Amino acid sequence: MEEVKDRLKAPASRLSIGQQQRLCLARGLAVEPEILLCDESTASLDPISARHIEDRLLSLKQNYTIVLVTHTLRQARRLADHVAFLWLGELVEHGLAADVFTNPQNERTRKYIRGE
């Protein structure tokens, strides 16, 4: 993280929220995981900071399995290869993102995608 390389001894709380999220991602990668679990990793971020995280996740998905939890449908469309739609703890539908987004099989999935 070039932007904070001179502040390594400063508390993370002095970083912007976007920088904190990128730091969390870097810390997670430091342990060389097989899978990254990203639970609402762009929540509360401005669009530019969110895009930095998304771009990084897109580059990482070549080498890691990434499970991304999001309530942002646009983000899921941009990032997902596979989608699982859960409603009140129930797995409603899952499959290739392109299939689920263009031809959902379940009515609840169709309504969610339409914003109903």
73-105 pLDDT, tens digit per residue, is 999 999 999 999 999 999 999 999 999 999 999
Residue 54: phi and psi, rounded to 5, are -60, -45
> Domain tally for the chain?
1
Mean pLDDT of 12-38: 82
- Helix and strand element counts for the chain (H, E): 5, 4
Q: Is the pTM of this model over 0.85?
A: no
Other beta carbons within 10 angstroms of residue 64's beta carbon come to: 16
Whole-number CA gyration radius for the chain: 16
Q: Which CATH number belongs to the domain containing residue 53 in this structure? A: 3.40.50.300
Secondary structure letter of residue 53 according to DSSP: H
For 2, the token pair is 């070039």
Quickly tell me which residue has 């998905």 as its tokens.
Answer: 61
Provide the domain limits for residue 67.
Answer: 2-114
Model confidence band, residue 1 (pLDDT cutoffs 50, 70, 90): low
Q: What is the pLDDT of residue 7?
A: 64
